[in-house]
Structure 1
Amino acid sequence: MSGRIMALTGAVAAAVVALAVLGARGDADTALVFAPSSLAPFEAELDAALIESGIGPVEWVFAGSQSLVAQLIDGAPADVLITADAVTFARANAAGVTWDDGRDLVANRLVLAVAPGNPGGVASLDDLGRSGLLVGVCAPEVPCGRLAVATTDGRVTIDADTEEKNVRALTTKLAAGELDVGLVYRTDARAAGLETIADATLRQATTAYRGSANPDGAAVLASFRSGAAHAVLLEAGFLDVTT
C-alpha cells in the first residue's frame, strides 16, 4: 500500500511536512514522488498501475507545484518531481533541485466550472466579470492561476472572491457550492463531477506537466512519460504531449 503526505503551507506546516517526508524515507526501495495536487484524485489508479508494472508502491507528496519546489529548496528529500507547468519547473531547475532539464509528461486544459446546478447562470468566460457572482481562481503564483491570468488577460477582468493555493482546494469549494464559478483544470472538474461551460478561448488554455527524477525514481518517471501511469492520466482526461 502506498502512502500519502499532503504538503501544507506556512513555516510550522513546512516543518511538519519535512518531518513527515523524512519518515517516508524509511524504505529505501520506495520512491518518494512530489506531485501537483491535480494528480491527487487519481492516486489509487496510479498506485495500481505502478504496482502492476512492478514499479510501485511509491510514497506521494501532493501539493501546489510552487509548494513542492519550496520544500525541495528547503532540503526535503524526493526521488521524483512533477510540476504542473514549465515555469515552476524552470524555477526548481534554476535552484538546483532537479536532476536534469526534465521532460514533458502530459498536458491539462483550463475549464470554466460551475457549482452544482449552475446557480449563477454562468454562460461564458465573460460572466467572470459580472457582479454578484462568487468567483474563484488559483493564486497567480500557482500554475493554474498563472494560466488563468494569461487566458483572461484582455478578455475579462476578474474580481475573484478567493485565490486558492492549489487547484484541488478551488475544486472542493466549487463542489460544495461555496462558489458559483471558477477556473480549474478539466481533470479536476471531471473527477469532482462538476459541470463545465464551453468557451472557445479556453480551448488553447493548456499547460504541460514536467518531471525529473534521480536514478531511484527513474522508472516511476518513465511510467508517467509513456507507461502505465501515463495511460491512467490519459484515461482521466489529461492530454498527450509529443515533446
Structure 2
Amino acid sequence: MTTTPTPEEFLAACRVADEVFELRADYRAMLLVVDGIDPRATSAMADELIAAAEAHARDLLADGQVEDLPHVAAWREAYRAFGAKPQRTRNSLEALTRRAGEGLPRVNALTDVYNAISVLHQVPLGGEDFALYEGPAHLARATGEESFETISGGETLVEHPKPGEVIWRDDAGVTCRRWNWRQGPRTALSEGTRTAFFILDALGPMDDDALSAAADALVEELTSLGAEVMASRRMIGAS
C-alpha cells in the first residue's frame, strides 16, 4: 500500500538537477502545494483578476513586442540553450501574454486565477493535481526515453522528449515538456481537484522578492476557493 506524502514531505523530495543549473545558473523554482480547495467553488475574484491581467497585457504591449519583455526574452534564451525554437514552442508566459491582449481563455475558477497571476506578475506558472502525482517532481534534462502522454484528435498518444530537453517529471513519466511549454493531461487540474501543485519558474530578470510576491498573490487569491485553504511552499535555486 502506497502512503500519500504530506505536502511538506512532497516538497522536500522535489529536486532540480545540476545539469539544469548548468544551463541557467539564475534559475529558481517556487513550488506550492495548496490544499483545501472546494472543486465546486466559483469566484467573482477570478473575473476581476482576468480583467486586470488582460488590461496589464495591453499596457505591456502598447509600445513593444511580447518577445522584448524582460522575462519573456530570458525564457527565449533558455529555450535556445537546450535546442528548442522559441518562435515555434513558446514558453507559457509568452503564450498567455500574447493571448491576454485579446482575451484570456476561461476554464474554471482555479485555472483562471493562476493564469491571471502568471500574466500580472509576468512569471511562467503551471498548475497540476497533487493527488495525481506519482512520487516527487523532478526537473531534469531528458534522455529521450521518457514517456509523455498527450491528446491529439481525441486520442491519447505517448510522445518522447528530445534528448537534452528540459522536462518536469515524476516517477511515472513527463508532466511538462520544454521546461514550461506543455503540461500533460495525466496530472492536469480538473473540476475534482482538491489539492493543487503549482510551479512558478523564474530567471534573472525576476528576483527572489518578485517571485515570492507572485506566490503570495496566488495563495491569497486561492483562499476564495475554499473555507480552509492552506499552502506549503519551497523555493529551489542553484545555491
TM-score relative to the length of structure 1: 0.29
Q: Which structure ranks higher in relative contact order (CA pairs < 8 Å, sequence separation ≥ 6)? A: 2
Quick check: which has more Rg, 1 or 2?
1
TM-score relative to the length of structure 2: 0.29
